[in-house]
Structures are given as C-alpha cells and as structure tokens.
C-alpha cells in the first residue's frame, strides 16, 4: 500500500520527488483497481471541516489547472483505506492515497512544487517537517480539546510547550522570508499551514501568537490567499485555549487522520502490512517514546526551577521619540557638543544634517577641486536620476531607486572620484495635463478649450511652480546626495532647445517621418498613448468593467461567433471575435493556406450583412488553423495583427471610430452610436438575421489606459514616427560587443528580443502640455505646385522657428518665401522623446560646455527593469544617433517592489506604502484616511481598509530614513522582485539602536583624553582579541568593496550588519571588558592598545556604513576624535571609504581559531542555559584531544572565560581521571569536550537521558554513512571530494560517540 506521504529518500537522507508515474506504479503494485469511467480525476475527502489532511488536498486542487471532482465519501472498494485519495480520470489500475502523494500530484500540475530540483527537494523536506514534526504535537495539543480519546496523558501534559518550540523553529526560518520555498507560495506552505491550522484555531492564544510574529504573519498570508479562502473560508483564530464542543463524528475522523486510516476502517481485515510499513511504524513508536521521555525530563526540570523564586523580566520598552530642540539656522552645522540621547531616535538623528551637507557643497563635483577639467586620477562618476514625474509623489519604487543610487553615489564620492548625481524632473505630458484639467473643472467649471491653448499652458506652469517641487523635498528626506544646483526640468529652456534640435536633425536626416498607422488611442484623453501607459487587465472570463462615459458597466471576456455568407452559394464561414462591433469595419476573412476545409473558397468572397461590402477570402500563414473554426475576420483599421494582414494583401482600411469613440463610416442604424452601445446593437442585429452562432466565456487581456481608465482602441492616425531599425541594431551591437554592460545579465534576452525586433516609434501625442512638434505643413500659393496631402512627407518641413521653416520650404519648392504658408503641427512629442536625450540635454547639448565635456558620457544608469525598453533603450539609441557616443557604460536594473505577501502594489489592495509613512510612522487611522483621497469606489475602499488592518493592525511604527534605506538595499537581490515587509525595516531600526549604544559605550571606554594614532596600523603587541576583530574588520572592508563593485547590495548589508552586531558588539566589546577593569601597569598598556583597536573599529565601521545610513553615521562620526584634526574632512560623507589596500590584516588562521573558541563558548552557554545558571559562575574544564588544542584554549582562555561567564577555564588533556566528579558534559567538537562543574545543581537522570539520545542520533548518522559507503558503486560514482567529506564525518562521529559513551558511564558512576 502506498504510504501517506510517499516520500523517497536517498541513502544520504536527502528527500527527492518521485514522479507521478512512480507514485501510480507504487499503488498499482498494491491494488488491482476496478475500471471507473469518469471524465475527470476524482478526489475523495472527508466532509469534516477540521480534517486538515483532506483540506490540504482540496487547497492543492485549487492550484491545479484541471480541478478534480470532489467526493465527500469513502473511496471505491479496494482503492484505499484512507482519505484523501485520488483516482485519475481514466480510472484504470491507478490511484493515489494520502495527503502527501495527492497534494503533490495536484500542486505539481499547478507548478507549485518548486522551480528546480533544489526547490523540489526543499518542498519535500517541508512536507516531512509538517508530517513528522508539527502534526504529532499539533494533534497532541488540540485533540484533547476536541474530545478525541486515546491521546497519551503524559504527552498531553507538556505538548503545548513542545508545540511552541517547534513553531519557534519555524518562526526563525520565516524571519527573512515571505514563503518557505522561493518567492511564491508552494506546496510547502500549504502543507505546513494545514498542519498548523488546528493550533491556530483552537490552541494558540493571542499571547502565543505575539511570540510567533513571523509564523503568524506567514499563516495569515497563506489563509488569505484566494485558493485557501475558497476551501477554508475566513479563519477565526483562538482567543482562549478551552475545550470545545466536538463536531459531529470528529473523534473518528481526527483519530483516523492521526493514524493515516479511514474512519471505521478495519486494518485487521485488510491486506497484510509490508516490511517497509512495519519498519516505519516502529520508527514512529521509537520517536514517540523518546518524545515522551523528553517531556518527562522537562517536567522534572520545571519542578526544580519552581522551587526557587524568579524575578519577572521587565517589559520591553516602547520605541521612544526624542527630538532635536537646539536652535540651528538652516544650513548651519548641528550641535555635536551636547551629550547623545540615551537611545536612538530617528527624529533626533536626522534633524539639521541635510541642509548643512547641501550648504557646504559636499554633493557638488567641484567640492575639493580647483577645476572640473583638471584630471582626477581616481576617475569620474556621473549618473543622472531617472526623472520622476512632476505630478508624482514618493512611492516605494522611488525609495528603492534612490536608496540604491545614493549608496552608489556616496561610495564613489568617498573613494575620491569626481562625483555627480544629477537631479531632474519630467514634465509628464498626459499626467500633468489631466491633473490641471481636473483642477480647472473642479475650481472654475472650465475645460482647457474654454481657456485656449496659450492660457491653458500658462495655467500648467502656474501649477508646476506651486506644486511641482514636492517630490524634490521628499528626495531630500531620503538623504539623496544630489547636486541640486544642476536640477533640470524637461520643459526648461535649455532642455526644450535640445528636444527641438534633436527632432530637426533626425527629421532632416529622414529618421523621423510622417505615416498613418495604428496607435494606442484613449478616447477620453483624445490622444495616442505609449505602451507603458497601457495596463494589461487579465480576465478569466465574462467580466463587467466600468468605462468612462458609460453609466452601465460594459461586458468583456466573451467570444462571439457569427457567420458570413459566401457569395453565390448557401455556404457560410463562421468567425469569432471579442469585439463584435469591429465587424462593421471587416474587409476580409483569412484562413491558413494549408487548411483543407477552405481550399475550395479560393477566389470567393463573403458578403457583409449590413452593407454592400464584399470580403475576399485571403490565405495567410498567421492564422492558427487549430483555433476555433480556423477562419478569422480581418479588421485592418482596428487591430494590430489585422493591420499587417491588410498591408500584405492590400485590403481596404475602413476606420469606423472617430477620436471620441463614436462610430463613423458605418450604415444606419449604427452610425453615430458610441462604440460599446454599438456592441449590443450589432449583436442583436446578427441574431435578427440568423447569423449569430454563440457566446462563450473567453480568457483575454483588456488594454486599459493607466491615466483615464478608458479602454484603449487601436486607431489609424497620421503621426510622426522614428525609424528605429539602424539605431536598434547599433544598441544591440553595443551590448553584444561588451561596450555597454547590462546587469544582471538575465535581462540580456529581453534587450536583444526588443532591439532585434524593434518597431518604429510613434512620437506624436495629441496634447497641449509638452514640447510642441517643430514641424510645419506647407501650402504653396502657386498654381504650378499641386496641393499636398497630410501624409506626404514632402509637404512637411521642420525648423527652429517659423522663418527658418519658411526658408527651407521655399528652397524645396523653388519659390519665393512670400508664397509659402505654414501650419505648425498641433501635437506635442511623446514624453519619452525628451527623456531619451536626458543624459546629454541636461549638460546643454548641442552647445559645447565644460559639463558636457566632463560628464558625458556618464558612468552608470540605474533604474527599474520595467522601463528597460521605454527609457533605457531609447537613451542608448538617441545617444548614439545624436552624439555618436553611448550615454553610459553600465546599466544596473533593480527589481520591482511588492508587498510582504508578494502582491503587486495596488491602491485597491490597501498595500501601497508611502516611504515617508515608514520613516515617520503612521497610525492605522492615518492609513485609512489616505484612502479617502484616492479614486477607489466604496467596495474597493473597504477591501483596502481590511488589507491595511490585516498588515498593519497598529499602524506603521517610526522606522527612520536610515533603516528604510538599509532594508531596501538588503532586499535588493539581483533578479528577484522585492517582497517588502515593514517588520524587517523595523528590525533595522533596532540595529540602529544597537549601533548607537555600542558607540556610546565605546566612547565612555575611550575616555575624554583619548588621542587616536595618526594612522590605523598594527604595532605587534595586540591581544588575540584585538587581532581577531581587526581581521574581521578587514574582511568586512573587502566584502563591502567587492559588493559595491558587483552591485551586490545584500552582500554589503550582511557584511556590515554581521561585523557590528555579531562580531564587534556581541564578541569583542564583551571580551575586552576585563581588560579595562584592571589597574596594573601591564594591563594599562594593554588597555591603551585595546582603545586604539576599538577606535579603529568604530571609525572604519561607521565609514563602511555611511553610504547606506548617512544620518546616524554622521551623528556618531562627529562625536569621535580625529586622527589628524588639522586636515580631517568636515563630514563623514567626504571622508575616504575604507579599502583593502589599507586594511590588509585579514588572517584566516585567526578566524579559524576564533571560530573554534566561539564554538566552545556557545557550548558552555548552552549548558548554562540548560541548568538555568543565570548568575552563578561555574568552573569549566575543557577536555582536549591533543596538546595543540590545549595551547589554543590557553591562548584564548580569557576570552572563553569572559564570553561564557565562567569562574575559571581549566584545559586538560587525557582521560576522565583529570576531570572532577559532578560535571555536566557537552561535546563542543571532535577536539574538545566541555565539563561544567555543577555539584548540587544537577539532575543526573536528565543528563543520562540526554546523552543517551545523543548516542542514538550519532549511531543513526554513522549507520547511514556506513550503509552509503558500503554500496558497490560508491567508489566509482561518488566524487572523491564527497568521499573525503564522508570519511571525515564518520571519523568525527566515531570520536563524538566514544566521548558520549564515556560521559554516560561517568554520570552513572555518580548516581
């Protein structure tokens, strides 16, 4: 019989996924199934709402593309004795039973079992965790509450504590993650969440959940997924753990679930159990016995502890708010003489610094330099900001972009390079015009047409001057070190001149030309829009959507089939469309040239039912003959694919829509109708004529204008286009040759796909706000020159002024200038056109100047990958075209920011976070209030409020700028989307506090009279602790340098975090405290060296951190004494960044030694914790395997003693005769055992039980290893390196086992 979880293990113990074929063969071997004729898979489950195994299968089924039919009944006779069970659709001799096998089968069909072999293995391990670790304790806790009998009383007594222990292990794993495996929900999450379901419903009280922050967040995320909600409904969490009224027949169902059998099944009468089953059950019994033994020992320990009174721990303090109240004029330096506040507070730390930095000119490339043109041996770093929209306000995408860019800019500046990060703002044509038009209507009841073009543009400039610099203030709040004196606006005179020049040059060269083609048209805006302004709304079927200008919602997501009659016969051809109104513009029917069904229709025509138009049957390869009837209606004027078919077959292009979405060029009664009203009318008319066939649901993507929310229409319009073929090839070749580097390189495929298949770029926009196109239509007032047409490029001329254009036109037509009449194009240029020349227009191109010569081409372009084509590609193309140079050498693309649950940021979900709210904090009520200003309808508003309440029940705490920046950089793993959890940002605020306290303590230790050496160096007399921390400092310097070079921001944040928190604070500062407490001359000398080491760590550590956390590092750096006060830089942001060439004292040998020391320390601490030795210091005997280990222990004895809180450290070598009686024993490594003197404080029974468990674990490990190594093909198939590792593991295990046995004998001798 197939086991419940269907795990397969290698000899090394690693789980892997068996294929479905393997699973079905396993069942086939056990059962001979009757033939069941179903048209889909059948899933047999329990009907009980708390049968978590059946619920797991049902949830997995929700993720499957082809859901099985669900039956709440027993499986057919002979199929299985447990539920859930699944019988595949053919029903022939195959079945799956057990939650593990069934859920894997279903989840794998929905691609929820991992994206590669490694992730699949991880999923199986989590299934094992759910089955073998979490489920037993969950059932032990919950079943007694639900009236299930037969649970062991001893196990029941202490199972709640064990459940919390298991969940705390899970909590630690989930701290840095949103989901258990990868970046999306998988079967691992489903299985573990269902194993935790009953505890969350019946046993885990609010106080328990508060200690399991990450598990609770993750569980809430899982059960609120649509698939979970469909199966579980809304979960009510436990408020108090009390017995509940048993649900009908729950005892039988639950007990059966625990025993992997069906209720009322009779195992005695079933098939005999296999050897593998019996072995598995024996292992389960053995595990349960050990579990009970462990619980009994823990109870004894608790009884011992209860005999002594304990003081209650003080409650954790809430985050305090301290403000900086010392009067400081804007731009003046902040007071750094007053004592530092007791704790870190962002409001205090971030006050006053930015205006001082700006006034001092630290952000200008000229700082510290006589001339920009003077060569800098350190090099030049130039980067321009992706210009945010003038209408915009800061969102998390901006925060991520600016955190990364500012870190890079500050790093390059600190390295001594001539550094410029150039700010700018985009005029945002459509967005700005919409904002001002709404304002006009709201305040004055006027349209832009009421004002006229010139007055309306003046109105926009007024709005821009009042509101347009809001985002600049927000960028300053983020600490962005931009050179504000060079800030540019794309409508400024300098940039507008560059835009005009670019258009004229490209038009004169023929690269820009006039053409009538399909564009994305917004009927509400009356303008063409770019692809990036089109949202793709995915529909699964029939959906009613709101459309501007329509009172009732409009139907989408359906496929309408109708027929065209073939002329001269009774035959008809059936076609289908999702936009039935467009059939009024059909001019052909297309079929595949190889489709045998339509070969006889060559040369035939179909008849349009509503006009006298004849539609030729055309044969074209683009038709998919296997889709629908294989016949496709062709509307060349209103569909991009049909447009190309129309071009190939020279079909008529019939435009049936005007710019406002009303029908034109159509017969009555449709003429003049609105497009979606015509949709209903056409459908009814087809029904009346008997040519309607059917309507069915159809998954589709609806193009929606992101600005107006209107449905985008493909519309034929005369527009200006840029010929991108040659420019696209140049851009692709630049990347292929390595001249331009794109990071991460997995974006290369997208780049080449776009560049190699690039289409010409429509640059016309039917707006008033923007750069008006400097092109003029020519009318020649001379009878010898025939009048021109709009589409004839010969009759268009461009010029820097109307006079210049007139002269060009006169010359072209060989007439005098007075015979030329000009009409300037009303349209403006696409915003991306001005953005495309931003890297050189900001420096005054086409005019020569110092900035252009020094800073163009730039060094780097950093932005989100979502605008790789819309902006990055166009900058590269236009830079090469207009300057002959690439605009930058490298492109670094960061990921998209999502919420903690991996969902896209959306106002309707309530998960859009303003970074300023994270920096300053905001209440839940404040978050709700922000929704009032949004455009959400009441239903969406309530949904968004629920989302906010779920994610931020207490609002968002004040985290500060530094913590937000650090968190964003820590998240920026290349190539992944960022699931931003505010709780992690808060964790980095706590890191700031740790940093604050460490520096405060260190400064007290240094003393007021401390003078640092002029240079950081080794003198040769440093203690082992000093040498170690300096080695770790140098390692951090190297990691940070390499991380910045490789844009590996998580490597940088991890290196800095580990150095400050785990190495400097947790180890070094603790280990050197005894040095400062001694008063003898030798100790004072050592203390002075220790102070120099400590100062080096503080000063270098702050400089390492400065690019990421500029405010707190400046605040603390200003309090430190300087090595050379006479010529030290005034700010940390212009101090040199530490480099490995200076800090070159890394020693792998010292690192290895200290790693051994810390292993010993952790072992001693663990022993002390086991016996609750919070204050008592005990002697510690370290039994070493050889003299070299003894020497190592002696060398670090002070550090071991201090860090382990021991009374004294006694290294010994040899047998147990050298160890006093009455010690607790723990194995630190194969080279050292720890013996902690515990006379009078020890439970001997507990010690023996613990060591016996350890002995069993070691013997199992050795048995597995020996079994693996004895296999016949082991020597041939296993790599030599792995064989060496296996041999070393076996040797270590043998050594440890011997020590364990000796320890057991030792304790038994003490009994």
Over residues 533-587, the pLDDT tens digits come to 888 899 999 999 999 999 999 999 999 999 999 999 999 999 999 999 999 999 9
CB atoms within 10 A of CB 914: 18
Position 314 scores a pLDDT of 37
Q: For residue 875, report the phi and psi dihedrals to the nearest 5 degrees.
A: -65, -40
Q: What are the angstrom distances between the C-alpha of 434 and each of 328, 430, 445, 527?
A: 41, 6, 15, 12
Helices 924-932 and 938-951 sit at what angle, rounded to 10 degrees?
160
CA 914 → CA 478, 579, 739, 928, 988, distances in Å?
12, 39, 38, 13, 18
What's the pLDDT score for residue 94? 64
- Specify the DSSP class assigned to residue 817: G
Shortest CA distance to 1245 belongs to which of 301, 159, 302?
A: 301
* CA pair distance 957, 923, nearest whole angstrom: 8
pLDDT at 1285: 84
Res 1027: pLDDT: 94
Total residue length of the chain: 1311
**Segment 1290-1308, tens digit of pLDDT:** 888 888 888 788 778 766 7
What's the pLDDT at 1307? 66
Nearest to 573 by CA among 507, 618, 535: 618
* pLDDT digit string, tens, across residues 47-100: 888 889 999 999 999 988 888 888 888 877 666 567 888 887 655 446 788 888
34 three-class SS: coil
Q: What is the mean pLDDT of residues 597-617?
A: 95
Q: How confident is the model at residue 265 (pLDDT cuts 50, 70, 90)?
A: very low
Q: What is the mean pLDDT of residues 964-970?
A: 93
- Whole-number Å distance between alpha carbons of 177 and 230: 25
- pLDDT one-digit tens code per residue, 827-876: 999 999 999 999 999 999 999 999 999 999 999 999 888 777 888 999 99
Measured in whole angstroms, how far is the alpha carbon of residue 1251 from the centre of its chain?
44
* String of DSSP letters for 700-747: EEEEEETTT-PBPEEEEEEEEEE--HHHHHHHHHHHHTTSSEEESGGG
pLDDT at 289 over 60: no
**Cα distance between residue 552 and residue 670, in whole Å:** 19
Average pLDDT over residues 402-431: 95
Residue 225, pLDDT > 70, answer: yes
266 burial via Cβ count (<10 Å: 0-12, 13-18, 19+): exposed
Please give the radius of gyration of the chain, using alpha carbons only, rounded to the nearest integer. 37
| CA distances in angstroms from 1230 to 364, 955, 1170, 1285, listed in the order given | 58, 50, 21, 15
Whether the per-residue pLDDT at 1 is higher than 90: the answer is no
* Residues 563 and 573 sit within 8 Å (Cβ to Cβ): yes
Do 33 and 92 touch, CB atoms closer than 8 A?
Answer: yes
Q: Distance between CA atoms of 779 and 805, rounded to whole angstroms?
A: 12
Instruction: Assess contact for 999 and 1121: CB atoms under 8 A.
Output: no
Neighbours of 763 (CB within 10 A): 24
Residues 688 and 692: their CA atoms lie apart, in Å, by 8
Residue with tokens 């016995």: 289
User: What's the pLDDT tens digit per position in 1056-1082?
Assistant: 999 999 999 999 999 888 888 777 777
Residue 396: pLDDT band with limits 50, 70, 90:
confident
**Tokens found for residue 870:** 């819309």
Evaluate if residue 273 carries a pLDDT over 60. Answer: no
- For 227-290, list the strands marked E by DSSP: none
Mean residue pLDDT across the chain? 85
Q: What is the mean pLDDT of residues 213-225?
A: 85
Q: Which residues contact 1088 (CB under 8 A, 6 or more apart)?
A: none
1082, HSE (Cβ side, Cα atoms, 13 Å): 1
Residue 786, CA distances (Å) to 153, 615, 776, 794 in order: 104, 35, 17, 12
Strands 605-607, 692-697: pairing is: unpaired
Confidence tier at 247 by pLDDT (50, 70, 90): very low
- At residue 290, the pLDDT reads 57
Is the per-residue pLDDT at 434 higher than 70? yes
Distance, in Å, from the CA atom of 437 to the CA atom of 426, rounded to the nearest integer, reads: 18
* Contacts of 327 by beta carbon, 8 Å cutoff, 6+ apart: none
β-pairing verdict for 764-765 and 828-829: antiparallel
pTM: 0.70
Contacts of 454 (CB under 8 A, 6+ apart): none
Nearest-10 crossing angle of helices 1024-1045, 1148-1170? 110
Report pLDDT for 185.
87
Mean pLDDT of 707-715: 91
Asked if 99 and 182 count as a contact pair (C-beta separation under 8 A), the reply is: no
**pLDDT, tens digit, for every residue of 296-347?**
555 555 554 444 333 333 333 455 688 999 999 999 999 999 999 999 999 9
Report the pLDDT averaged over residues 682-694.
95
pLDDT at residue number 344? 94
> In this predicted structure, what is the pLDDT of residue 13?
31
Tokens, residue 947 = 């989302």
Q: Residue 1187's closest CA among 1224, 1142, 1231?
A: 1231
- Say whether 1194 sits in a helix, a strand or coil: helix
Cα-Cα-Cα-Cα torsion 230, 233, 237, 239, nearest 10 degrees, comes to 180
Q: Is the pLDDT of residue 19 over 50?
A: no
Confidence of residue 531 (pLDDT cuts 50, 70, 90): confident
Phi and psi at residue 1258, to the nearest 5°: -65, -40
Starting at the earlier edge strand, list the strands of the sheet with 96-97: 69-71, 42-44, 85-87, 96-97
Closest CA to 1108 of 1015, 1029, 991: 991
Angle subtended at Cα 931 by Cα 930 and Cα 936, rounded to the nearest 5 degrees: 150
- 108 and 20 Cβ atoms separated by less than 8 Å: yes
pLDDT value at 502 more than 60: yes
């Amino acid at each position: 019989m197939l086991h419940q979880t269907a795990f397969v293990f290698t000899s090394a113990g690693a789980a892997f996924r068996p294929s479905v074929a393997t699973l079905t063969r396993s069942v086939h071997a056990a059962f001979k199934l009757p033939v069941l004729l179903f048209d889909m898979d059948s899933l047999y489950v329990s009907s009980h709402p708390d049968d978590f195994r059946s619920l797991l299968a049902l949830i997995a089924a929700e993720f499957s593309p082809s859901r099985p039919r669900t039956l709440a009944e027993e499986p057919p006779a002979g199929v299985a004795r447990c539920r859930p069970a699944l019988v595949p659709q053919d029903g022939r001799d195959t079945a799956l039973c057990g939650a593990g096998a069934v859920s894997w089968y279903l989840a794998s069909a929905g691609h929820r079992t991992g994206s590669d072999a490694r992730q699949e293995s991880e999923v199986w391990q989590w299934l094992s965790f759910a089955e073998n670790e979490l489920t037993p304790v969950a059932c032990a806790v919950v079943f007694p509450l639900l009236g299930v009998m037969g649970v062991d009383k001893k196990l029941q007594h202490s199972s709640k504590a064990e459940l919390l222990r298991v969940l705390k292990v899970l909590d630690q794993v989930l701290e840095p993650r949103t989901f258990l495996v990868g970046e999306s929900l998988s079967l691992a999450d489903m299985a573990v969440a269902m194993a935790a379901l009953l505890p969350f419903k019946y046993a885990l009280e609010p106080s328990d959940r508060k200690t399991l922050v990450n598990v609770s967040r993750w569980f809430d995320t899982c059960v609120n997924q649509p698939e979970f909600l469909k199966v579980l409904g809304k979960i009510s969490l436990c408020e108090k753990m009390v017995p509940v009224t048993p649900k009908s027949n729950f005892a039988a169902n639950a007990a059966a679930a625990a025993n992997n059998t069906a209720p009322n099944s009779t195992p005695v009468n079933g098939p005999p159990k296999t050897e593998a089953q019996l072995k598995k059950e024996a292992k389960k019994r053995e595990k349960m016995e050990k579990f009970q033994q462990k619980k009994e020992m823990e109870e004894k320990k608790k009884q011992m502890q209860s005999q002594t009174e304990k003081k209650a721990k003080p409650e954790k303090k809430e985050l305090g708010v301290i403000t900086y109240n010392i009067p400081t004029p804007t731009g003046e330096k902040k007071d750094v003489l007053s004592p530092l506040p007791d704790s870190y507070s962002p409001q205090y730390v971030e006050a006053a610094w930015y205006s001082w930095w700006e006034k001092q000119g630290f952000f200008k490339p000229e700082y510290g330099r006589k001339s920009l043109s003077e060569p800098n041996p350190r090099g030049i770093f130039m980067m321009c900001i992706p210009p945010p929209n003038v209408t915009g306000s800061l969102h998390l995408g901006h925060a991520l972009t600016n955190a990364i860019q500012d870190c890079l800019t500050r790093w390059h500046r600190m390295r001594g390079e001539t550094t410029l990060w150039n700010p700018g703002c985009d005029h945002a044509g459509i967005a700005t015009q919409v904002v001002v038009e709404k304002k006009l209507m709201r305040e004055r009841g006027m349209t832009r047409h009421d004002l006229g073009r010139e007055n309306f543009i003046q109105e926009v400039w007024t709005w821009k001057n009042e509101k347009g610099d809001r985002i600049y203030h927000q960028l300053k709040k983020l600490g962005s070190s931009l050179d504000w004196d060079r800030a540019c606006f794309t409508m400024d005179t300098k940039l507008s001149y560059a835009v005009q020049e670019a258009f004229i040059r490209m038009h004169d060269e023929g690269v820009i030309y006039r053409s009538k083609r399909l564009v994305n048209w917004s009927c509400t805006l009356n303008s063409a829009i770019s692809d990036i302004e089109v949202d793709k709304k995915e529909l699964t079927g029939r959906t009613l959507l709101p459309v501007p200008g329509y009172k009732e919602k409009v139907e989408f997501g359906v496929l309408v089939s109708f027929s065209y009659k073939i002329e001269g016969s009774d035959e008809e051809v059936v076609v289908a469309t999702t936009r039935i109104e467009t059939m009024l513009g059909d001019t052909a029917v297309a079929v595949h040239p190889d489709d045998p069904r339509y070969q006889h229709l060559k040369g035939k025509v179909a008849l349009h039912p509503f006009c006298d138009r004849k539609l030729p049957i055309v044969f074209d390869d683009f038709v998919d003959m296997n889709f629908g009837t294989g016949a496709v209606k062709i509307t060349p004027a209103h569909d991009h694919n049909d447009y190309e078919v129309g071009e190939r077959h020279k079909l008529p292009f019939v435009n049936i829509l005007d710019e406002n979405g009303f029908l034109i060029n159509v017969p009555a009664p449709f003429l003049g109708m609105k497009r979606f009203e015509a949709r209903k009318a056409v459908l009814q008319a087809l029904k009346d004529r008997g040519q309607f066939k059917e309507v069915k649901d159809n998954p589709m993507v609806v193009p929606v204008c992101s600005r107006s929310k209107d449905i985008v229409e493909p519309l034929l319009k005369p527009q200006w286009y840029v010929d991108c073929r040659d420019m696209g090839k140049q851009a692709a070749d630049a990347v292929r040759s390595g001249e331009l580097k794109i990071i991460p390189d997995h974006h290369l495929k997208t780049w080449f796909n776009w560049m190699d298949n690039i289409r010409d770029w429509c640059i016309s926009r039917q707006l008033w706000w923007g750069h008006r196109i400097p092109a003029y239509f020519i009318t020649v007032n001379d009878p010898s020159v025939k009048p021109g047409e709009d589409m004839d490029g010969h009759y268009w001329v461009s010029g820097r002024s109307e006079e210049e254009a007139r002269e060009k036109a006169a010359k072209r037509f060989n007439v005098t200038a007075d015979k030329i009449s000009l009409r300037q194009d009303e349209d403006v240029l696409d915003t991306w056109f001005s953005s495309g020349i931003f890297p050189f227009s900001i420096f005054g191109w086409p005019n020569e100047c110092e900035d252009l010569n020094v800073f163009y081409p730039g060094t780097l372009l950093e932005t989100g990958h979502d605008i790789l084509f819309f902006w990055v590609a166009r900058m590269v193309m236009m830079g090469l075209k207009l300057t002959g140079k690439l605009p930058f050498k490298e492109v670094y693309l960061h990921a998209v920011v999502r919420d903690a649950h991996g969902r896209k940021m959306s106002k309707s979900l309530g998960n859009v976070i303003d970074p300023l709210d994270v920096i300053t904090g905001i209440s839940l009520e404040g978050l709700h209030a922000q929704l009032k200003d949004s455009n959400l309808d009441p239903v969406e508003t309530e949904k968004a409020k629920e989302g906010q309440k779920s994610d931020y029940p207490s609002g968002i705490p004040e985290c500060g700028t530094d913590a937000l920046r650090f968190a964003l950089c820590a998240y920026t793993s290349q190539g992944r989307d960022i699931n931003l959890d505010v709780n992690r940002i808060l964790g980095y605020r706590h890191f700031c506090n740790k940093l604050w306290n460490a520096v405060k303590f260190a400064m007290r230790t240094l003393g007021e009279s401390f003078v640092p050496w002029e240079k950081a160096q080794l003198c040769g007399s440093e203690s082992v602790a000093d040498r170690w921390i300096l080695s770790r400092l140098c390692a951090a310097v190297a990691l940070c340098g390499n991380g910045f070079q490789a844009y590996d921001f998580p490597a940088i944040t991890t290196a800095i975090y580990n150095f400050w928190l785990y190495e400097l604070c947790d180890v070094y500062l603790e280990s050197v405290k005894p040095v400062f407490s001694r008063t003898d001359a030798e100790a004072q000398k050592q203390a002075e060296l220790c102070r120099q080491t400590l100062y080096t760590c503080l000063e270098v550590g702050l400089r390492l951190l400065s690019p990421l956390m500029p405010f707190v590092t400046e605040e603390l750096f200003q309090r430190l004494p300087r090595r050379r006060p006479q010529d030290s830089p005034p700010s940390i942001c212009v101090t040199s960044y530490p480099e490995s060439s200076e800090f070159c004292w890394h020693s792998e040998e010292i690192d290895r030694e200290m790693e051994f020391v810390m292993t010993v320390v952790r072992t001693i601490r663990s022993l002390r914790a086991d016996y609750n030795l919070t204050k008592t210091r005990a002697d510690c005997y370290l039994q070493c395997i050889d003299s070299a280990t003894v020497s190592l222990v002696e060398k670090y004895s002070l550090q071991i003693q201090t860090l382990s809180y021991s009374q004294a450290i006694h290294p010994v070598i040899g047998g147990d005769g050298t160890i006093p009686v009455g010690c607790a024993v723990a194995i630190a490594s194969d080279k050292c055992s720890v013996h902690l003197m515990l006379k009078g404080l020890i439970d001997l029974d507990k010690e023996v039980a613990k060591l016996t468990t350890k002995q069993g674990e070691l013997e199992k490990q050795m048995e597995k290893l020996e079994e693996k190594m004895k296999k016949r093909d082991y020597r041939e198939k296993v790599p030599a390196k792995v064989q060496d590792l296996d041999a070393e593991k076996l040797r270590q295990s043998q050594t440890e086992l011997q020590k364990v046995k000796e320890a057991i004998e030792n304790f038994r001798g003490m009994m």
